[in-house]
Structure 1
Amino acid sequence: MLKVVESKNESQQQYTTEELSAKLGIAAATLRKYNFYFGKEGITFKKERGKIVYSNDDMALFKKLMALHQRSGTTLQECIGELAQQIQPVTKLSQAQTELPQSVVEDPQPVAEHPQQELTLTPQLTELQNNVKQLETSFAKEMSEQKNYMYQQLENQQEQVKQLKSYITTKLEQRDKQMMDTIRQIQELKEEQKKGFWYWLRSLFTSKK
């Protein structure tokens, strides 16, 4: 559930990152990327026991984002920025009224005369900054793991190519050696046959004498 968007139905079903990504038909890493860019726009999602949980409202928001991204042809960040502009002007006032003390909400006096309003916003700003840092760290870790995996795959392929080249070279050398041995044996056999023929011919003339 969006922290800057109050849900109309507090009892609606909640989903983990894996459950929601499965319902949306996308990878969990893609959903985390959406979350990361929403965080940069000042929109975060509800956390319980250190893990993010999503509501049906959040699912509808992500579906709207996917449709907009596919339809508009603009970048993902631009689509999220457009949605954020639609959400924040309406929801920031509702959030402020919900979080401020009742005396401040009912009192029409200027905000400057109620310094406690600023104090209530500071923990939220800190939490938002922490969430953004966590998302950046998670995203950087995933990118690093994918990069290491690609490097490992490349090294494995290079090693396989090297082994294949060595195998082919060895086989070619063996073939060449066998061919040379066969040619040498044929030449030796021909020489033996020539010697035998001349020996027989010479013995024939010698016997006639």
Structure 2
Amino acid sequence: MLRVITAEAAYTTEELADILGLPLSTIRKYNFHFAKIGVQFTKKQGRLAYTNDDVTIFHELKKVHAHPEMTLEKAVVTVVKKFNLIPDTPPNISTEKQTLRLDTREVQMREIQSYIDAKFEERERQLISMAREIRALKKAQHQKKSFYKWLKSFFEK
């Protein structure tokens, strides 16, 4: 029995730009905004390879972004939601584990904050101590000068 396997088309960035009728820089900009949200396209041999589904996504983005009031960021978010490209929660992490992670991070943040506060208090005490020592040295130096002035005036008479 002969079996026919059809491979899905893989378009390069240049080919995608030609299909959409957009400059290559615009496709790169779209990719950048998708990546900021967390959408990654497949790579083959170190280069982006777009499927027919990806072409449909970019067509939709082009159509949504064409509206005058629509910014590119909003258009990307709209397309991501429409095609459900990013699930709300990662599939391998339950909400209990996420909550547990948040709780441990909060504890770590409190520990770090208390450590920072303690270091600031210690530094403040050191600065106050140094300021007192400097004031005492200046006072002693001033008294020394006063004694020498008195002594000088005593011998000048």
- Normalised to the residue count of structure 2, the TM-score between the two structures is 0.50
Instruction: Measure, in 1, the Cα distance between the counterparts of 2:95 and 2:75.
Output: 36
Shift of residue 19 of structure 1?
A: 0.7
Report the residue type matching 1:19 in the other structure.
E
Instruction: Measure, in 2, the Cα distance between the counterparts of 1:53 and 1:46.
Output: 6
Report the residue type matching 1:74 in the other structure.
M
1:38: which partner in 2? 34
1:92: which partner in 2? 87
Question: What CA deviation, in whole Å up to 9, does each residue of 1:25-48 have, x standing for no partner?
Answer: 011111010000000111110011
2:100: which partner in 1? none
Q: Given that residues 41 and 50 in structure 2 are in contact (C-alpha distance below 8 angstroms), is that contact kept between their aligned partners in structure 1?
A: yes
2:45: which partner in 1? 49
Report the residue type matching 1:92 in the other structure.
P
Matches for 1:1-209 after TM superposition, within 5 Å:
11-71=7-67, 73-88=69-84, 92=87, 96=91, 112=97
Report the residue type matching 1:78 in the other structure.
K
Instruction: Measure, in 2, the Cα distance between the counterparts of 1:60 and 1:38.
Output: 14
Which structure has the larger Rg?
A: 1
Instruction: Measure, in 2, the Cα distance between the counterparts of 1:27 and 1:44.
Output: 20
Report the residue type matching 2:74 in the other structure.
E
Instruction: Measure, in 2, the Cα distance between the counterparts of 1:110 and 1:82.
Output: 25
Shift of residue 72 of structure 1?
A: 5.1
Instruction: Measure, in 2, the Cα distance between the counterparts of 1:13 and 1:87.
Output: 20
1:205: which partner in 2? none
Residue segments in structure 1 that go unaligned for 5+ positions in a row: 1-9, 113-209
Give the secondary structure class of the aligned counterpart of 1:43.
Answer: coil
Shift of residue 58 of structure 1?
A: 0.6
Evaluate the alpha carbon distance shift between residue 44 and residue 26 of structure 1 in structure 2; reply closer, same or farther with a 3 A threshold.
same
Shift of residue 66 of structure 1?
A: 0.8
Instruction: Measure, in 2, the Cα distance between the counterparts of 1:35 and 1:41.
Output: 10
Shift of residue 92 of structure 1?
A: 2.6
Q: Which has the higher contact order (CA 8 A, sep 6+)?
A: 1
The Cα RMSD (Å) is 3.1
Give the secondary structure class of the aligned counterpart of 1:63.
Answer: helix
Where does structure 1 differ by over 3 angstroms across 4 or more consecutive aligned residues? 109-112
Q: Sequence identity of aligned pairs in percent?
A: 32
Instruction: Measure, in 1, the Cα distance between the counterparts of 2:55 and 2:95.
Output: 38
